[in-house]
A = this chain, B = another copy of it.
Amino acid sequence: MKKIITFGEIMMRLTPPNYDKIIQTTSYQATFGGGEANVAVSLALFGHDVEFVTKLPTNELGKGATRFLQKQGVATNFLARGGERLGIYFLEQGMSVRPSQVIYDRKDSSIALADHVDFDWDNIFEDAVLFHTSGISEKARQLTLTAMREAKSRGITTSFDMNYRSKLWGLEEAQEAMKSILPYVDICFGGYLDAVNILGIKSKVQNGELTAIYSDLFSQLALQYGVKQIVCTNREIHSVTHHTLTGYLYSNETKLISTSAHSFDILDRVGGGDAFAAGFLHGFLSGWSEMDSLNFALGASVLKHTISGDSNAVTVEEVQAYLVEKGKSAIAR
């Protein structure tokens, strides 16, 4: 069976219940999440053989994170153990016109301070067909670059989510890191802002339609770094709990394609991008057409917005049913 490797950070996520603000709450819902872990969970639910690779502290919090991954069917055979702490992030859920807030408390986490000796890439990449990681933070940047090169050098398809977070690192550091990684990337998840701000690509299309702008930007990106597929969503925010998403894909063969626009109410917005990436990778691994993969990716992402927690909890069948019914579903009984 073909194995997928995702590599990155998993954090404890603490969320006040019932849309309380952090200054109001007396309890937190606790779950775990992180970009690449979320992708791994989705892919396991879609039936794939996935390993999530990170470094976790040996304490009960590290064990909790491990159990969370195992519960979803994500393999944890290559976890490194040690370091000082599990990263934490506090999520204050917004609603209506009140925005959500994130407080990161992930400094000096075990993975952020991990070392090359913690990971034996020969073992990890044995039998792997796909490697996915992201550019969330500066800390593990050197490790990420190494992992990407190791994957690429073994002929494994590489997938990368640009995922820039301004609370975590400065623009310049991010620029430098992303530019060093992209030459090793086959499938790149990242949108307009990433292209323009991080990569400094300038669109020659002024005042054009979104498709024209995307087409221009992404063809430059593909050309410049040799990326095969660039996949992203455009998100319109009507209110904190009501969005519209459209999926876009650029590749050299297909050029730019896009899905229809999907509008929906939101239960939990975090991880929507990771669910999108996992959906697309599922289509890719299943040998589907780019259009089918893109549609599936968007469906998976939309459904994730109705699932509590960072990671998706739906199956291939549920995504496909959604793509047919678009939420106009009676109770199945």
Contacts and interface: CB of A to CB of B under 8 A. Distances in A.
Given A104-B333, A329-B94, A313 B21 contact: yes
A83 to B, nearest CB: 12
A121 B217 CA distance: 58
A63 B23 contact: yes
A105 to B, nearest CB: 5
B96 A327 contact: yes
B333 A60 contact: no
A331 B270 contact: yes
A327 B22 contact: no
Contacts of A252: none
Q: How large is the interface on A (under 10, 10 to 19, 20 to 34, 35 or more residues)?
A: 35 or more
A67 B71 contact: yes
A96 B308 contact: no
Interface string A255-289: 00000001011110110000000000000000000
B303 A264 contact: no
Contacts of A126: none
A24 interface: yes
A309 B24 contact: yes
A210 interface: no
B328 A23 contact: no
Contacts of A24: 307-309, 313
A31 interface: yes
A265 B238 CA distance: 12
Nearest to A270: B331
A127 B229 CA distance: 44
Contact of A330 (B60, B72, B96, B237): B237
Contacts of A17: 18, 27
B31 A26 contact: yes
A146 interface: no
A30 B19 contact: no
Interface in A193-248: 235, 237-241
A101 to B, nearest CB: 5
A150 to B, nearest CB: 27
Nearest to A25: B30
B306 A61 contact: no
Contact of A239 (B22, B26, B92, B265): B265
Nearest to A60: B22
A2 interface: no
B107 A19 contact: no
Most buried by B among A60, A68, A97, A238: A97
B167 A332 contact: yes
A104 to B, nearest CB: 7
A313 to B, nearest CB: 5
A327 B30 contact: no
A108 B105 contact: no
Contacts of A142: none
21 contacts: A17-B18, A18-B308, A19-B306, A22-B63, A23-B67, A24-B309, A25-B30, A70-B73, A95-B267, A96-B266, A96-B306, A96-B327, A97-B302, A100-B332, A101-B332, A102-B331, A165-B333, A237-B329, A240-B327, A240-B329, A270-B331
